[in-house]
Amino acid sequence: MKYRIKTWGPGLLLLSPSIVLIGIFVYGMIGATVNVSLTDRHSAQPAENYVGVDNYTDLASDDRFIHSLQNLLILTVVFVVGTLVMGVLWAFLLEKGVTAEGFFRSTYLFPMAVSFVASGVVWRWLLNSAEGENAGGLNALFGMIGLDFLQNPWWSHPDWGMAAMALPAIWQLSGYVMALFLAGFRGVPNELREAARMDGASEFKLYRHVIFPQLSPVALSALIIIGHMSMKMFDLIMAVSGAQYLTEVPAVYMWQTLLANDYAKAAAIAVVLLVVVAVLVVPYLISNARAERQR
């Protein structure tokens, strides 16, 4: 028994401060949020009664919440697809070999160093649909080159404004996906490439049947990471468009509800978001843990 304590005791002591802090400020806060979501606290006054899942059933019939979920779906799809396409393309070009690769790699990764708020302010100007001297950068450019039909929409467009909101996020995180796939490309053994070429495989077949199948874990990791980031996106949307109904997602709606002192409803929205993210992330973590044990 003493030997076992000496074995795992120092490690437990080293980790115990982090365990306590995570237990209080992560899982404790989650528990408190769930508790509030089950009450009737719809004002600044303390809750008086537990109402069970009434707040959740009310959300199911809340048109504004449904609208925010639809916006989140559009944002997530455009963001994930755009980021993966741009990231894989950049990684492929760098993997094929270019002059000044270090410069281009740093350039692609630079947007990650910029906060969502700072980039959101810049992209708000770029996507501004105002006319004349106050027109945003892209709109002014389109006006100068005669593409007037592209001037007005962007994030304020009622049909595809939410898709335009994904542009700043794609610009900011494509470099991260590029780094993941570039590391995956460089991790494929040269023996596999040479063996495929000796068997007569063209470059297209080499990537289609040999290299890209090796990158499926990288693709899954990228999909999970950027997918859950899009579901929690708040600061970028607030910086670009503010709390507007047209571009409202659950995180923004939760913030607006919290400002209105409807704590129970805001907590219910937070729990729904947590469940959505968990449905995406937890299976990946379980699969990753199993793969590690098999190794």
pLDDT in tens, 124-143: 877 765 544 445 555 555 55
Q: What number of CA atoms fall less than 13 Å from residue 21's CA on the CB side? A: 5
Q: Is residue 31 part of a domain?
A: no
Task: State how many domains the chain has.
Answer: 1
Residue 150 has pLDDT above 50, yes or no: no
Return the closest-CA partner of residue 295 out of 226, 217, 211: 217
pLDDT for the residue numbered 73: 92
Domain containing 234 equals 57-294
pLDDT of residue 149: 41
* Most confident by average pLDDT, 49-63, 112-126, 156-170, 203-217: 49-63
pLDDT of residue 113: 85
In this structure, what are the phi and psi dihedrals at residue 153, rounded to the nearest 5 degrees?
-65, -100
- Phi, psi angles (nearest 5°) of residue 50: -90, 135
Does residue 175 form part of some domain?
yes
**Of 114 and 268, more confident:** 268
- Residue at 199 is within a domain: yes
Q: Give the pLDDT of residue 152.
A: 52
Q: Is the confidence at residue 51, as pLDDT, over 50? A: yes
Task: Kindly state whether residue 135 falls inside one of the protein's structural domains.
Answer: yes
Q: Decide if 289 is inside a domain.
A: yes
Residue 38 in any domain: the answer is no
- Does 224 reside within a domain? yes
User: Out of 4-8, 77-81, 151-155, which region has the weakest mean confidence (pLDDT)?
Assistant: 151-155
Q: What is the CATH number of the domain that holds 214?
A: 1.10.3720.10
Average pLDDT over residues 211-217: 87
pLDDT of residue 8: 72
**What confidence score (pLDDT) does residue 137 get?**
55
In a domain, 136, yes or no: yes
Residues ≥6 apart with Cβ < 8 Å to 55: 37, 38, 264, 265, 267, 268
Tell me the average pLDDT across 49-64.
92
Alpha helices in the chain (DSSP H): 2-22, 29-37, 54-60, 63-95, 101-109, 116-126, 137-144, 161-164, 166-187, 190-198, 203-206, 212-214, 216-231, 235-240, 250-259, 263-294
* Predicted pLDDT at 153: 59
